[in-house]
């Protein structure tokens, strides 16, 4: 019998309406389990570990990522796969973070949640959870995991975690992976795409990275952005890294003051990475003249990475191996970006 560890952090999937104001709050795991007896009735053995208390994912912090990753690492040998229940709001951040924290992962770690609480009749909770459990347990004839990656399973698709973004606060298809195809689709059968899966070196042991440096910022450009705003961000005390959200293929206003501010920040040792504000497509610095200044200032290309993946990768590299952060931000570590 395959064994899966279900780690619950909270999120809508575990929530009930609070008496009085009617707002959704996480219930406890006993209440949750009572809604899904199927969890323990199939041919996969499921054990549960839960955050205490369960939380809304707006309250997720790097400490929470550390806790989740440690739960996986501590029980790594005892289970075939792991499912992490998580609120959808910051799921892409957490799942991206874990994809970088769990180096040489050889087993599935599948994040899921739901748009409606488990106790609501039309809830998407059961389908998401039960399919995620099945995917986490799935192996080939030799006993190797089919998808040994950190993933998000939602509605009917399995995505590489560090390629996802929450795109919808209303519909059941809450996530998308704009720049990389789904690793599996679930219909009557679950159809896997093995050629798209990232496999770690099977002989390398799982290595856990847990140190984050949160002295980072996201600077989103817009027409009319003022020097004072850019200066305030780039002169933030202790700042070490910036996700620069640019236009189109990685373009920025050609104002001299912007170039000077960015160049001065890079010279002060701040790492700045160019991420397009578009969901689909890649940064291509040098394609337009309006991106040449960024190149001259020493801004790195983030290619087609998501903001969630770039931010968590930056925080982890700055925390774990600052001397290599710049070099590794320009490289694809575990399938998070496509470098042509």
Shortest Å distance, C-beta 119 to ligand ASP: 14
Shortest Å distance, C-beta 58 to ligand ASP: 6
Q: Is the peptide bond prior to 53 cis by the omega test (within 30 degrees of 0)?
A: yes
Give every CB contact of residue 248 below 8 A, 6+ residues apart in sequence. Answer: 276, 277, 278, 288
The whole-angstrom distance between residue 49's C-alpha and the CA centroid of its chain comes to 21
Q: Tally the residues of the chain.
A: 340
Given 9, 12, 131, 246, the catalytic residue: 12
Rg for the chain, CA atoms, rounded: 21
Q: How far is CA 36 from CA 6, 7, 123, in A?
A: 13, 15, 12
Subset of 160-179 contacting ligand ASP (CB under 6 A): none
Subset of 9-28 contacting ligand ASP (CB under 6 A): 11-12
**Residue 90 or residue 276: which is nearer to ligand ASP going by CB?**
90
Buried b (16+ CB within 10 A) or exposed e, 64-79: bbbbbbebbbeebeeb
Q: In this structure, what token pair is assigned to residue 201?
A: 């070196």
- Residue 47 near residue 5 (C-beta atoms within 8 A): yes
Shortest Å distance, C-beta 18 to ligand ASP: 13
Shortest Å distance, C-beta 214 to ligand ASP: 20
What does the per-residue mask of binding to ligand ASP show for 43-72, with x meaning CB under 6 A? -------------xxx--------------
What does the per-residue mask of binding to ligand ASP show for 79-108, with x meaning CB under 6 A? --------xxx-------------------
User: Is 246 known to be catalytic?
Assistant: no
Among 62, 106, 108, 113, binds ligand ASP (CB under 6 A): 113
Q: In this structure, what token pair is assigned to residue 36?
A: 């899904």
Catalytic residues: 12
Instruction: Summarize as ranges the residues that interact with ligand ASP (CB under 6 A).
Output: 11-12, 56-58, 87-89, 113, 115
């Amino acid at each position: 019998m395959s064994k899966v560890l279900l780690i619950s952090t909270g999120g809508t999937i575990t929530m009930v309406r609070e008496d009085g104001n009617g707002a959704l709050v996480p219930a406890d795991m006993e209440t949750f389990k009572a809604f899904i007896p199927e969890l323990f009735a199939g041919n996969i053995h499921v054990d549960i570990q839960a955050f205490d208390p369960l939380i809304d994912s707006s309250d997720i912090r790097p400490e929470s990522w550390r806790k989740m990753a440690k739960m996986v690492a501590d029980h790594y040998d005892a289970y075939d796969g792991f499912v992490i229940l998580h609120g959808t709001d910051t799921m892409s951040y957490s799942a991206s973070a874990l994809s970088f924290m769990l180096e040489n992962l050889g087993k599935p770690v599948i994040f899921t949640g739901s748009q409606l609480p488990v106790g609501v009749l039309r809830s998407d909770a059961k389908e998401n959870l039960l399919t995620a459990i099945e995917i986490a347990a799935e192996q080939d004839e030799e006993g190797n995991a089919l998808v040994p990656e950190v993933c998000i399973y939602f509605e009917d698709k399995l995505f590489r975690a560090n390629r996802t973004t929450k795109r919808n606060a209303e519909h059941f298809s809450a996530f998308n992976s704009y720049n990389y195809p789904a690793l599996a689709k679930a219909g009557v059968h679950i159809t896997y795409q093995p050629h798209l899966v990232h496999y770690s070196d099977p002989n390398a042991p799982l290595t856990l990275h847990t140190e984050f440096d949160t002295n980072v910022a996201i600077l989103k450009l817009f027409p009319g952005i003022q020097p004072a705003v850019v200066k305030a961000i780039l002169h933030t005390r202790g700042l070490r890294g910036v996700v620069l959200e640019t236009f189109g293929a990685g373009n920025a206003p050609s104002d001299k003051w912007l170039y000077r501010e960015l160049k001065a920040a890079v010279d002060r040792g701040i790492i700045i990475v160019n991420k397009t504000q578009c969901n689909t497509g890649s940064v291509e610095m040098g394609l337009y003249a309006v991106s040449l200044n960024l190149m001259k200032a020493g801004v790195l290309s983030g290619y087609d990475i998501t903001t969630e993946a770039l931010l968590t990768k930056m925080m982890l590299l700055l925390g774990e191996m600052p001397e290599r952060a710049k070099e590794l931000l320009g490289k694809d570590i575990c399938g998070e970006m496509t470098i042509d």
